[in-house]
Amino acid sequence: MKTAVVYYSFTGNTHRVAQIIVDILKNKGEDVVPVRIRPLKEETSFFMQCKDAFLAKKPELYKTLLDLKDFDKVILGSPVWAFKPAPAINTYLDKCVLGEGKKAILFVTYGSGTGKKKALEVMKKGIEKKGASVIKALSFQQAEKEKSCREKIEKVL
């Protein structure tokens, strides 16, 4: 089983969850490739980040792995920004190549929790357009303890 863990993280919370996922898969002996995506131009003001997320902007990304045809499973993670995934995720979903029959697991990290369902819906639509079927969607509060994150992830992997 070969899995790509594709994610964007600005302040590190989504990265932390992605690392736990990678760790669990490695311990199972699976082939796992973490893919942290970054926009060329990173908006740093809260207002601009919300605006770009709300408008579903697609910023140009640093060169990254886009061809996921060789993978069996894709795990896609984003922070919730203004009820949406972070804009880098929109670009990735636009540009990646999956091929038919891929299984996908989605996850978001969030603060208050408002908009987390909506953000996951946007990600679901985007990845289904690429032919993948979403088998699970998880969400993690930004301050969630590692043990709790691990338990949730282990249940679905």
Ligand X SMILES: Cc1cc2nc3c(=O)[nH]c(=O)nc-3n(C[C@H](O)[C@H](O)[C@H](O)COP(=O)(O)O)c2cc1C
- Residues lying near ligand X in the complex (CB under 6 A): 9-15, 46, 49-50, 79-83, 109-116, 142
Residue 92 CB burial class (10 angstroms; 0-12, 13-18, ≥19): buried
Of 46 and 62, CB closest to ligand X: 46
Closest distance to ligand X from the beta carbon of 76 (Å) = 13
Distances, alpha carbon 47 to alpha carbons 51, 58, 112, 131, in Å: 6, 17, 17, 33
Q: Which is nearer to ligand X, 75 or 80 (CB)?
A: 80
The nearer residue to ligand X, 27 or 44, going by C-beta atoms, is 44
Q: What's the min distance (Å) between Cβ of 70 and ligand X?
A: 27
What is the DSSP code (8-state) at residue 132? Answer: -
Q: Pick the closer one to ligand X by CB: 3 or 78.
A: 78
CB contact at 8 A, 134 and 127: yes
Min dist. Cβ of residue 80 to ligand X (A)? 4
CA distance 120 to 94: 16
Q: Smallest distance from the beta carbon of 48 to ligand X, in angstroms?
A: 8
